[in-house]
Structure 1
Amino acid sequence: MKIFTVQQLAEADKVTIEKQGITSEELMERAAGLVFKEIHARLNNESVPIKIICGIGNNGGDGLVVGRLLIEHGYYVSIYVVNFTKERSRDFLSNYNKIKEIGAPWPTLLKGAEDFPELHPKDFVIDAIFGIGLNRPPEGWVADLIHYINASGAFILSIDMPSGLFSTKTPEPGDAVIKANYTLTFQAPKLVYYLPKTAEFVGNYQVLNIGLDYEYLAAAPAEAQLIDKEEAKNLYIPRKNFSHKGDYGHSMIIGGSYGKIGSISLSAKAALRTGAGLVTIYSPECGYEILQSILPEAMVIIDEGEKELKNIQFEPEPDVICFGMGAGISAATVKTFESLLKKTKSPMVIDADGLNMLSNNKGFLKLIPKNSVLTPHPKELERLLGEWKDDFDKLAKAKEFTNKYEVILVIKDAHSITVSGDNLYINNTGNPGMATAGAGDVLAGVITSLISQKYEPLIAAVFATYLHGKAGDIAASKLSYQGMIAGDIVDNIGAAFLDLFKNDDRGME
């Protein structure tokens, strides 16, 4: 699913109005009508106090339409207008007058803190103060009103965007932003729904298709792509009946050190579970018996170092090399990593201590094979890119980094984001139970496996991140967030593949 900028959505509104021969007010009625239908379907005329707090722009106009429709269907509704300026949008004014036409009480004007409505934990509050076009933080008594709403304990539903939340920057500490329980947004989700410092304000969300012009949206370049089940299906490459293990590539997993052999075993097992034809683990001598015992499906090559990697040598070269898990950053290991970078031509997957070595030796960055995949968690990313001002600055720096070094970044987080050049791919699977030791090692193995199976590295990174998250979701459904360990993610990779085509006539072919 495409994610668009505010400017693109505004243009889509204009194109839709022109091509469909409707007015902006009719488009507002359509959009707000869908919000009403969602609320009505859930409340089903339940006797709950509904308090709608409207701004004086088009988001407020949406709130007025929703209020009118709720009143017409017998709900107990109080409408309040945040009267912070004399300016009003045309569609707001039109819908303001329609409240009077149905015989309902006119909305109460809020002019300061003394006018704040009484709010209680059992209230249902609809936030329609500011929309997606907000460009400066609320101030004065309006900011106080937002803080007051948040503190009420009421259930808060925001229309399109929680009021006070920007679409292009992160709020500063103390800024007034509605913390919604639920957000109903129009046509497409917004980038801020998935970023660490902004997602918390959105709560759960639902996208309402308001019928904006399809041709315009199809042609418009996306600010980002949201990767969910339908998108992941299109990335899957079916297997042929007449094939053998050589058709699915040779993955090599290099890493480990004394006491940290488990990490490479997780990566290797994940690579096998994802379908790599052959997997070789390259390990210090101390890992030999462990690896041969716990993972008989993998081949094992031993480095001359007993407890650390000292001199990586192997033949022939595999289709893809995954490096770094549990490797440590000793001088000998750093030296042999540099040698590996110089002689390896195929794309690599670099994780964990491999990333730490790159951060500590920035000259290594220019040695990374093109189209390699780097998989940092937030701290590893910061060491690679330097500090950032906010999540938007982080993404800008990540784009610059991938353009400069011609690599792919998978920024691991609640919604992991794959960055390639100026393109962003946001993963929509995964859960808090995956915040556990070894989960990143599993992801590195899944990416490696897909590359060995001839997926393009970018596709492999995007698809692997989806599968990894879905395997975690399936594991959590059985074990709880707290009960999960990284091995459970590996054990459910097969189920994640099966889920792609569940209830789909195509099957996995």
Structure 2
Amino acid sequence: MKIFTGEQIYQADKFTIKKQQITSDELMERVAVQIFNWLHLRLQGAQPKIHLFCGIGNNGGDGLAVARHLQEHGYNIEVYIVNYNEKRTDEFLTNLKRLKDRNVWPNFLSEETELPQIGREDIVVDAIFGIGLNRTPVTWVAKLMTHINKTEAFILAVDVPSGLFLNKVVEDPNAIIQANHILTFQSPKLAFFLPQTGIYCNQWEIIDIGVDVEYLTVTETEYTLISKNEVLQSYIPREKFGHKGTYGHSLIIGGSYGKIGATILAAKGALNAGSGLVSAFLPKCGYVPMQSSMPEIMVQTADNDTIVSDFNFDLEPTVIGVGPGLGKEKETVTAFVSFLKQNKSPLVIDADALNILSENKELFSLLPEDSVLTPHPKELERLVGKWDNDFDKLEKAKLFSVEHKCVLVIKGAHTIVLYKGKGFINTSGNPGMATAGSGDVLTGVITGLIAQGYPQVVAAIFGVYLHGSAGDLAVESLGYQSLTASNIANSIGGAFIELFKRPEAPQQQEQQKA
């Protein structure tokens, strides 16, 4: 699913109005009907007090139109105009007149008016500011927002929570609505998926307002949201007459004394992701742990007992995943540099291999094109430098990916894959995956997919989704606190199966409940 910028959303409205020969007021009416239907379906005529806070722009016009539909269906409403300046949009004025024609008289709020009384059992519809907000609301409006947040009423935000910016972080945490649910128009916003802004957007869903399909189809976007539908298109089926050689040979290089587990987890990730063969190259102290824990893995060792002191493996892998548990001993660094100078295989680079690169920037020129780098936040900072905020982080990371012609996987709650100036935002996964070794499994999964013939960027996108889906399956029986990296690795098979499951029909779901 494409993620449109604020400017693209405005252009989408203009395109739709022209192409479908409708007015902007008619487009606004589509929005209002969808929001009303969402409320009406859930309330079914129940009579909680519904407080609609409307700004004086088009977002406020949406709110006024919703109020009209609620009033026509007999709901108990109170409408407020948040009168933060003298400008009014035509659509706002049109819907204000329609409301007054029905003898619904809004309360105009200003700096001097008292804050309205709202009960904790009431409902608030937030339509104060839309996506066009570019500066922090004035003090009295911020106080109103804080007052609304403290009421504990259910808050429904129209398109975005008022006070949220689309392209920068919130400057004053008191000047944003803490919505319980967001009904966003046509597509989600980038701000929903970044840590500093996503905390205000925990629950959201898309409502279709009829933006013209041609615009949605042909318009290129910087970011794409990745869900099951997107990754399923990339799936490569297994061949009936395939054999282990058909599906590639993954080599995992890493491990040091006390950190052999990282290499085991990566190898397990590669094997469970479908790599036909998986080998591990690690220090001698890792031989017995690897062979005893995973009999399917072929093992070669470096000359040193405790560290990878050389890269003298005797095989020709399809792809190499390097870094989990590797360490940064002087001999290891020297061996890694020599390896990069002669390596021709595709690479997935993680953990200490990334840290060695960040301390020796000249080595980036030795990486094969489209190498996959999988840093966690601190490793990313070492690679691209410090950033001011999440939006700045994305720009720095994007430039880094383009400059070094690599696939950059920014791990987090919504892992983002960057490639050639484009971003792919993952939707699977859960907080339980914030656990030791989870990233090592991901390295193995991506490595295993590349071994099977997936292009590097596709393997990264697909691998991130599978990894998160495996975590979602495992957490159902274990809970967030007890989820481990091994649980995730063992659930990768289930994640593949989940790709092909169809949603159950409502009737089937009811029968199962009975």
TM-score of the alignment, normalized to the shorter chain, above 0.5 = yes
**Which residue in 1 is equivalent to 2:40?**
40
The residue matched to 1:418 in structure 2 has which SS? strand
Q: Distance in 2 between matches of 1:448 and 1:348?
A: 8
Q: How does 1:339-488 map to 2 (within 5 A)?
A: 339-488=338-487
**Which residue in 2 is equivalent to 1:120?**
119
Deviates more, 1:43-52 or 1:473-482: 43-52
**Which residue in 2 is equivalent to 1:20?**
20
Distance apart, 1:202 and its partner CA:
1.4
Which consecutive aligned stretches of 4+ in structure 1 deviate over 6 angstroms post-superposition?
Answer: none
Q: Distance in 2 between matches of 1:42 and 1:329?
A: 58
Q: Distance in 2 between matches of 1:128 and 1:139?
A: 16
Q: How does 1:48-67 map to 2 (within 5 A)?
A: 48-67=48-67
Q: Distance in 1 between matches of 2:156 and 2:231?
A: 30
Distance apart, 1:152 and its partner CA:
2.1
Q: Distance in 1 between matches of 2:103 and 2:55?
A: 22
Give the gaps of 5 or more residues in structure 1. Answer: none
Q: Distance in 1 between matches of 2:125 and 2:341?
A: 59
Deviates more, 1:285-294 or 1:174-183: 174-183
The residue matched to 2:292 in structure 1 has which SS? helix
Native 8 Å contact 1:250 1:276 kept in 2: yes
TM-score (norm 2): 0.96
**Which residue in 1 is equivalent to 2:252?**
253
Native 8 Å contact 2:301 2:313 kept in 1: no
Aligned Cα RMSD in Å?
A: 1.3
Letter in 1 for 2:493: G
Q: Distance in 2 between matches of 1:489 and 1:203?
A: 24
Deviates more, 1:454-463 or 1:176-185: 176-185
The residue matched to 1:206 in structure 2 has which SS? strand
Native 8 Å contact 2:146 2:174 kept in 1: no
**Which residue in 2 is equivalent to 1:31?**
31
Q: Distance in 1 between matches of 2:8 and 2:374?
A: 31
Q: How does 1:71-110 map to 2 (within 5 A)?
A: 71-104=71-104, 106-110=105-109
Q: Distance in 1 between matches of 2:362 and 2:15?
A: 49
Letter in 2 for 1:37: N
**Which residue in 1 is equivalent to 2:512?**
none
**Which residue in 2 is equivalent to 1:226?**
225
Q: How does 1:194-343 map to 2 (within 5 A)?
A: 194-343=193-342
Q: What is the aligned-residue identity percentage? A: 52
Distance apart, 1:317 and its partner CA:
2.3
Native 8 Å contact 1:260 1:326 kept in 2: yes
Native 8 Å contact 2:309 2:335 kept in 1: yes
The residue matched to 1:114 in structure 2 has which SS? coil
The residue matched to 1:251 in structure 2 has which SS? strand
Distance apart, 1:203 and its partner CA:
2.3
Deviates more, 1:456-465 or 1:33-42: 33-42
The residue matched to 1:158 in structure 2 has which SS? strand
Distance apart, 1:362 and its partner CA:
1.6
Distance apart, 1:71 and its partner CA:
1.6
The CA deviation string for residues 250-306 of structure 1, in whole angstroms up to 9 with x for no partner, is 000000011111111011011111100000010100011111101000100011010
Q: Distance in 1 between matches of 2:174 and 2:371?
A: 40
TM-score (norm 1): 0.97
Distance change (3 Å), C-alpha of 1:327 and 1:173:
farther
Native 8 Å contact 2:145 2:174 kept in 1: no
Deviates more, 1:75-84 or 1:42-51: 42-51
Deviates more, 1:336-345 or 1:423-432: 336-345
**Which residue in 1 is equivalent to 2:511?**
none
Letter in 2 for 1:39: L
**Which residue in 1 is equivalent to 2:8?**
8
Native 8 Å contact 1:78 1:107 kept in 2: yes
Distance apart, 1:425 and its partner CA:
0.1
Native 8 Å contact 1:179 1:203 kept in 2: no
Distance apart, 1:45 and its partner CA:
2.1
**Which residue in 2 is equivalent to 1:183?**
182
Distance apart, 1:114 and its partner CA:
3.2
Distance apart, 1:458 and its partner CA:
0.2
**Which residue in 1 is equivalent to 2:508?**
none
**Which residue in 1 is equivalent to 2:509?**
none
The residue matched to 1:235 in structure 2 has which SS? coil
Distance apart, 1:346 and its partner CA:
2.0
Q: Distance in 2 between matches of 1:445 and 1:195?
A: 25
